[in-house]
Structure formats: C-alpha cells, structure tokens
Structure 1
Amino acid sequence: MSGFKVVIPARYASTRLPGKPLLDIAGKPMIAHVCERALAADAAQVVVATDDRRIFDTVSALGIQVAMTDPDHQSGTERIAEVAEKLGWQPDDIVVNLQGDEPLIPPAYIRDVAAALAGQQQAGIATLAAKIHDADEIFNPNAVKVVLDKNGYALYFSRAPIPWNRASFPEHHVIGDETHPHFRHIGMYAYTVGFLRRYCSWPASPLEGVESLEQLRILWHGEKVLVNIVEQTPEAGVDTEEDLWRVALSLGQV
C-alpha cells in the first residue's frame, strides 16, 4: 500500500500533561517519535496539524511538514479535514489519522488501516481492532468494544461488554470462543477525503453523547465503518507522567 497520507493532530493543551507533544522522551520531543512512526510506514506525505506556534516551530525544525489550523475545532477529525482542504487533496485520497500521543504505534498498523480502506468500496472510513484475551478487559469501560458483521464492518461500538454472552456473564466472565469473539477497538482511522467532508457536515448524534464515542456519529448517519483485525492491541499512548516513563522504557532509553 502506497500513496496514502498521514495527518498527526497535535494540541498543546492537555488537562493532565500540558504541552504533551513537546515533552521529552529519550532526548527528543514526543511528536518527533510519532512522526518517525508515520515515516516508517512509508506514507507518501506526513503532516502535523496544530493550533500552537510552539508545536509548529518544533515540527518545522525537524523538517516535517506542519500546518496551522483553526483553534476552535472540536476534534482531531475536523483538524484533519482542514488540512486536506488547505493542501488540495482529492476526494479519493486516503488519509490516516495518527494521534500525536502515540509514539509506540507499530508502523505496520498505519499501513494496514490504509490498505484495508483501499481494498474495498463500501466504506469511506476504516479502523482497527484486536481480539480480547483478558476477561477483565471486556468489562473495562475504558476499553472500547466493537461488534462486527460477517463482512468485517462495524455493527456497534460501546464501552459496555458487547456482545453480551448470556451463558457466561456475569458470573464466569468467560472469553468468547471463535464463534463469538470479543474485539477491542483501536482508535486509528483511515478516511477518504470525500468522507471527511461529509463527516464534518453532520451534527453530533445522541449515541456519541451517551457513550462519549465520536465514531458512533458515523453509524448514526447510516454509513459503514470497516474494521481491520490486527494481532494485538498496541501499547497505550501518553496521558500521564508514568506513561512517559513507560514509553521511554519501551524504547530502551532508560
């Protein structure tokens, strides 16, 4: 898969870690590690989208393309759509949304989600999921679950334990077998530029407000989401000081 683009939304504001994209990990800012992952995925173009001059200047000094975007955007998806318009990308161009706090994301996953979208015609968006092997994860509301149809398109996303195994829950918490596995959603997306334009024209849906899951807007408005299954859930991104230390350990730099 070649020819896809990666946009990395990066905001300075963060409740728990202000200036998160610029925090040092193993001698360089976190955003530099994320950009390296995107470049290692062989993307045709990598762009950081930010609303902060400090991030803009840091990324520019790295030699990575960066775009200033409207500070009033409500989501990274809206920020990516603005970049696509500014750079004149075409409706069929594929764009991967790579979060700026994911310095450990496997480059293969970036390629996988882009290739999955390119390999079908029914959906304008693709995402990733991995099979759940830990029963406690099914009941963890911070682990978003997804249920698929027979062709690999999402039926629903939820923080609840779906599908509900009537024979095993809640007393035994038995992991589903191959006939009804549980999948954890991985929040990486590939879109066509045409889909991004449609998405940004839609109002928020009641379901996404209830679950606090933006992707439910897509299902609410009647469009498909392709879900590509990968081998395992990647390591979590950076939200706390402890996460910074964990990521440095993973990179073998501590």
Structure 2
Amino acid sequence: MAHTYVGRAVLAVIPARYSSSRFPGKPLATLDGKPMLWHVYQQCMKAQTITDAVVATDDARIAAACTQWGIPSTMTRDHPTGTDRVAECAQKPEFRDYAGYINVQGDEPFVSPESIDAVGLALRHQCGGTIAAVNAYCDLHEPAEVCDHNVVKLTLRTDGCALAFSRQPIPYPHTSTRLAYCRQLGLYGFTPSGLHAFATTLPGPVERAEGIEMLRLLERGLAVQMIKVSDTGIAVDTPQDLERAQAFIEHTRVDRSEPSGNTRNLV
C-alpha cells in the first residue's frame, strides 16, 4: 500500500504469540470470517504515518496464517514481552533502517488508524531527539476501571511525558475526591535508541512488581512522551470479548445499511 504522507519511515510491528492462558490461539481466532491478526494489520495500513507493517511471531501456525492471508511476517525467538519481540525484529537486516517502530497489540482489531497516526507523527518528530518512546493514552471515565488492576493508570509531567504508571489508582485522592484519571493504551512507539535501551536493560524492581513494560524506561531515567487519543476500541482478551467484537461488527454493518437520516452512532 502506497502512502502519501511525507516523512521518515515508521514500521508497525504486531507481536503475536499462540499461547495464552485465557485464550489460546487468540491471534488466529476468527472474527468476521478472517483471523484477528488480519483486522489489526488492515488498521495499521490505513494509518498514513505507517510505511510498512509486519507480524512478529515465534509460532509456525501464525506465520502460516499470515502467508495465507497476505500479511508480512517474521519469525522471532520466544520473548517475555511484546516489546522485546519488536526489538528483535528491529535488529533484522530488512528492518534496521526504519526511523521508528510502533508496537501495535495483536488483540485490538479495531485499533484506530488516527491513534496510530498520532503516535507515529510524534515519533517522527522525536527521532534524533531526547524522547525514547511515545505512548498513547486516553481519559478513564468508568469508576470501576479506576480500581481494576488490569487497567494501567498514569500520571503526567508538566511537559506531557509520563511521570508514573501503575495498576493502582494514581494519583491517590489524599486531598480530593474529584480527580481525573488516565488510562495507558497498548500503542507504543519507539525511536531506535529507545528500543535498544529497552532491549538491553533488565526489568527493574518497579516493572517486575507492576508488570508494565514502559516502567523499564522510566526506571532508567528515559523520557516517554504521552499522546492523548480516543480509546482504541475493543481489546480481545477472552472468547467472550471475541463475541463482543463480532457483535460490534454486525451492528456497524447494520448501521451502515440504514438510511443516512436514521444512522445511529455506535462507536
């Protein structure tokens, strides 16, 4: 796909592993007749700041499915995190010359191309600068999610970079009960030097405790620029989430078939 956006080349990498405690084989789960990875790849290629996109996997079944569906893929070793897989991909000769790399989660079939572009544009501006990574976030509106340990919260520095990430509610409402909370999204952009720093540094004590990849950079004193976007949509973590995603597609399809005067906004 040819893009018209003028700028430095950015590669979207979609890390994919077959094993999952909650949903084995999730990247190949069928969504509207196609593997979920196919939908993620299509969203990446709609983004104007993305030059190319590739699936990075250690599983032959996923690689075979990518070949079947015309999705570029590359084999990697097994890794503890998706970003470690992106870092290995970036060291391959065919991928070394990109100015930036965006880790796009393989379980978000509705990830917004506009959100990818927001991260990609900020990443292009930071190449050669002092920022190691760019991470998307959005406002957190649901009270239940503030205390949900599966939702990563964050606080910001005055310059818009990340101050802290935690699965606990931050900031703690010590003097106020009316606080605005922010949610980290699984859309990470890295400069080559930032990605190298991540891959060559062992997880620190806070990252090990929280299980949040971006803390590896913060613990090393590296800056992570935060970019506010709209929520990227339904993340598929379980078979029940897949059912929700299929229902969303079907509702959207019905929506588009309605006369323009009766169109409902389900997004």
TM-score (norm 1): 0.89
Query: 1:135 & 1:238 partners in 2: Cα distance?
Result: 21
Aligned partner letter, 1:207: V
Aligned amino acid, residue 226 of structure 2 = V
Q: Cα offset for 1:191?
A: 0.5
Counterpart of 1:117 (choices 111, 119, 123) is: 123
- Secondary structure of 1:15's aligned partner: coil
Aligned to 1:142: 150
Residue deviations 1:145-186 (CA, integer Å, cap 9, x gap): 1110111001100111111222334xxxx3x2xxxx321111
Matched, 1:4 2:2: no
The answer to whether the aligner puts 1:74 opposite 2:72 as a matched pair is no
**Equivalent residue in structure 2 for 1:243, among 241, 244, 255:** 241
How many angstroms does 1:88 deviate by?
Answer: 4.3
Provide the secondary structure at the position in 1 that maps to 2:111: coil
Q: What is the match of residue 105 of structure 2?
A: 99
- How far, CA to CA, are the matches of 1:200 and 1:166 in structure 2? 37
- Within 5 A, what are the aligned runs for 1:59-70? 59-70=66-77
- Match for 1:40 among 46, 49, 71? 46
Percent of residue pairs identical: 37
Aligned positions, number: 243
Mapped partners of 2:94, 2:65: distance in 1: 24
Given that 1:91 and 1:194 are in contact with CA atoms closer than 8 Å, whether structure 2 keeps it comes out as no
Aligned partner of residue 225 in structure 1, secondary structure = strand
Gaps of 5+ in 1: none
Name the counterpart of 1:50: 57
Structure 1 stretches of 4+ moved >3 Å: 87-92
Deviations 1:30-77 (A, max 9, x none): 111111111111321111101111111110122221101113x22111
- For 2:98 and 2:115, how far apart are their aligned partners in 1? 21
Aligned twin of 1:133: 141
Contact 1:117 1:124 in 2 (8 A): no
State the AA in 2 paired with 1:36.
Answer: Q
**Where in structure 2 are the equivalents of 1:202-241 lying within 5 Å?**
202-230=201-229, 232-241=230-239
- What residue number does 2:262 align with? none
Q: Distance in 2 between matches of 1:245 and 1:220?
A: 38
The DSSP-based 3-state class of the residue aligned with 2:54 is strand
TM-align CA RMSD: 1.8
Q: CA deviation at 1:240?
A: 1.0
Give ranges in structure 2 of 5+ residues lacking alignment.
255-267
Tell which has more relative contact order, 1 or 2 (C-alpha 8 A, sep 6+). 1
* Aligned pair partner of 1:152 in 146, 160, 174: 160
Distance verdict in 2 for CA 1:92–1:47, change over 3 Å: closer
Q: Which has the higher helix share?
A: 2
TM-score (norm 2): 0.85
**1:141 CA displacement:** 2.0
Displacement, 1:136? 3.1
**Displacement of 1:212:** 1.7
